[in-house]
A and B are shown apart, each in its own frame.
Chain A
């Protein structure tokens, strides 16, 4: 599992926001800041972070819906930003994406059959009979059974959960090796989400698909992912095995995220890490740590002036906080219970 299937090097992406009415006030937003990340073959990698932290941007860059300002993306050691024509098309067979909103991600004028056949038509896979077989097999994989009941349906006849299954099936008909799932269940009920989680786990176990799972739900990441990366304002602030990140965090932002998760499966002394500053006025970026302004533990001068880098704090566990180990030690003592240890 240790061989990376995907590597990004110093990936940097900015957006120009629309200015005010008279065009003034245009601002450059850094969506991703020098991101270095390796995703291993066959794992489910979770990318977590709050809204606007750059999670979707990362996914869109990898699948070449957008181009970065700087940096490299290597898929199987191949620089995908240079791909053109046929090479790009064959790359597109390997990597697929599932979007958040099942109501927007399917063309309302196509039937389920049309939607699922399209990838096969584009890549000229199989003849009529083979296509039908692939379709039925894929539909069974995502739990649209029996396939014949759904194949003639149009999307508006389906529930949100069923639509998302169709979207997952569309991503899987070409049997890609890498799947990006951008908050695929955040608009669905918990019981439906759980059904979809199992589908993803099955993809990983049966087909060896590598999955980039984008979410802001840490509980879901805990359930599904082997490793997790925590993104804050385009910076990767913590990275490691999901159990480690969620039980023994080093970065104050990760701790703040954990605090915010509704506690459930209670323990006797619910403590909080309390690393998030509640009252804060957003302002311009500083030179230092991106989390500086909201960090309860930030120390003057260093945190506000120097950008911390990602360092290995334990084997395979990286964090980018100057005082991470200090905070970690202090916090782990008081939080032992709430984590059920």
Chain B
């Protein structure tokens, strides 16, 4: 059985200016022990997707259709009580800019303890202490800093503490929303390495959300590229890196500087990200696509399999 399977998910935000279709036709699955990355520019719906898997959406968000199956159970049908257990224990999320979300007046160690205690009230003192220390070791935080307050940590350390918190209840799936974006390269690299270890050692699965496509290739087994609330291409990171197929993926790769010797001129994607209102037909990338033709505006592109497990949604392929 697949750990997580999402089928035909569509979601809209209802705002004063009318409905706004933030997710449409989202279809994917996550296996046990797998890292799936979602990449795409700001506003394409990555956070919204993460939040809907946890059912932590704002009030004005409405899921129009679709199923989210976690170990076969449709979480859109869970009761409040079941939901509470599902969050944190089964799936936990590292929120965007979470490093600032620690409670400033509580010691970091105590915050993690509380998180465990609320979900496992019967846990003994000694066991609790052991668990917290193990978590600190896991994310490479010195044990001597367990009693510190968040402001005494550097940004990187705070981010690790947040990761420790997400791991506290030993969930099966972690959704990391731009978990390392605010950090500098060295810290980011260290955290990613730790993440990989966790994945290997405990068979943890990750949904890794980022706008940094290079980073996604580095950590993920599979990558899904999103544009304007839709997934436009999905496949193993090797396939996507070696043979990107959707014009948007190709453009994304070409707009990204690398360390290679010969300096190729970057090709920024022209124009601004779109904001779709209502259920627009046609391809969402139409306006900015170098290869677009008239039919792209009319027909919503179907999924085409261009390689094993490598799917793309473009009329021109």
Contact = CB atoms under 8 A, between A and B. Distances in A.
Given A52-B154, A260-B188, A194 B257 contact: yes
A261 interface: yes
B215 interface: yes
A122 interface: no
Contact of B269 (A191, A265, A281): A191
B214 A51 contact: no
B267 A194 contact: yes
Contacts of A281: 142, 144
Please report whether the interface of chain A is mostly helix, strand, loop or mixed according to DSSP: helix
Given A189-B41, A198-B266, A265 B185 contact: no
A159 B41 CA distance: 12
With most chain B CB atoms within 10 A of its CB, the pick from A194, A195, A219, A223 is A194
Given A257-B185, A260-B185, A261-B185, A197 B218 contact: no
Contacts of B295: none
A191 B268 contact: yes
Contacts of A194: 255-257, 266-269
Interface in A271-308: 276, 278-279, 281
Nearest to A224: B257
A256 B186 contact: yes
Chain B CB within 10 Å, residue with most, of A223, A247, A341: A223
Contact of B190 (A188, A222, A278, A339): A278
Contacts of B259: 218-219, 222, 246, 258, 261, 263-265, 339
A260 B255 contact: no
A238 B4 CA distance: 48
Nearest to A160: B42
A223 B266 contact: yes
A311 interface: no
Interface in B183-197: 183-190
Contact of A340 (B215, B217, B261): B261
B252 A50 contact: no
A216 interface: yes
Contacts of A258: 259
- Chain B interface size range: 35 or more
B257 A220 contact: yes
A197 B257 contact: yes
Interface string A159-200: 111100000000000000000000000001111111101100
A233 to B, nearest CB: 13
Given A194-B256, A195-B268, A223-B257, A276 B214 contact: no
A276 B186 CA distance: 9
Nearest to A242: B263
A188 B182 CA distance: 11
Interface in B244-284: 251-252, 255-261, 263, 266-269, 272-273
Interface in A128-160: 159-160
Contacts of B221: none
A220 B259 CA distance: 8
A262 B190 contact: no
Contact of A51 (B140, B156, B257): B156
A160 B273 CA distance: 11
Nearest to A247: B261
Contact of A190 (B156, B184, B218, B255): B255
Contacts of B33: none
Contacts of A189: 41-42, 211
A259 interface: yes
B151 to A, nearest CB: 10
A340 B41 CA distance: 29
Contacts of B186: 50, 256-257, 260, 276
Contacts of B218: 262-264
In this complex, which of B218, B261, B266 has the most chain A Cβ atoms within 10 angstroms of its Cβ? B266
A26 interface: no
A150 to B, nearest CB: 12
B175 interface: no
Interface string B140-181: 101010000000001110000000000000000000000000
Contacts of B213: 190, 264
B263 A262 contact: no
B258 A264 contact: yes
Contacts of A276: 186
Nearest to A258: B259
A219 B42 CA distance: 21
A223 B257 CA distance: 6
Interface of A: 50-52, 159-162, 188-195, 197-198, 216-220, 222-224, 243, 246-247, 256-266, 276, 278-279, 281, 339-341
24 contacts: A50-B186, A159-B42, A190-B41, A190-B212, A191-B41, A191-B251, A191-B269, A192-B268, A193-B255, A194-B256, A194-B266, A197-B257, A218-B185, A222-B258, A222-B259, A261-B185, A261-B259, A262-B189, A262-B217, A264-B217, A264-B258, A276-B186, A278-B140, A339-B259
Nearest 9 CB-CB pairings of A with B: A260-B189, A223-B257, A194-B268, A194-B255, A264-B214, A195-B268, A262-B214, A262-B218, A260-B185
